[in-house]
Amino acid sequence: MDTKKLLYRIDRLPVILPYHFRANNEIKLGDLVYYGPCPEYYGIGEVLSLVDRYCIVDFRGTGLLNIHKDAFETKYIIPIHKLNLSHLLKEM
């Protein structure tokens, strides 16, 4: 099995479970986000659309599972800017 090298240090993103208070975030179109419970598997994505409490996220294959688009409840999605994680995105 091939081991995919991740472009960012996604393994250093904090795991945030959906019932945790930090999982209640306001998500807007264009936000950079990650899937809270499994950051490494999905990677970092951009919110493409919002419908009620669901959103479509384009991950562009940045994670280990090479997923491009998926739909989630917003309670599972964590915005990068709210956690001030820009220093993690620049590390290689």
Domain ranges of the chain: 10-90
The mean per-residue pLDDT over the stretch 56-82 comes to 90
pLDDT digits (tens, 9 = 90+) for 3-30: 666 666 777 788 888 877 777 788 899 9
Report domain 10-90's class. mainly beta
Cα Rg, the chain, nearest whole Å: 12
Rounded Cα distance between 46 and 2, Å, is 26
Q: What percent of the chain has pLDDT over 90?
A: 39
Could you give the angle at the alpha carbon of 63 between the alpha carbons of 81 and 51, nearest 5°?
60
Quote the pTM value: 0.77
CA-based nearest residue to 44, from 2, 3, 12, 1: 12
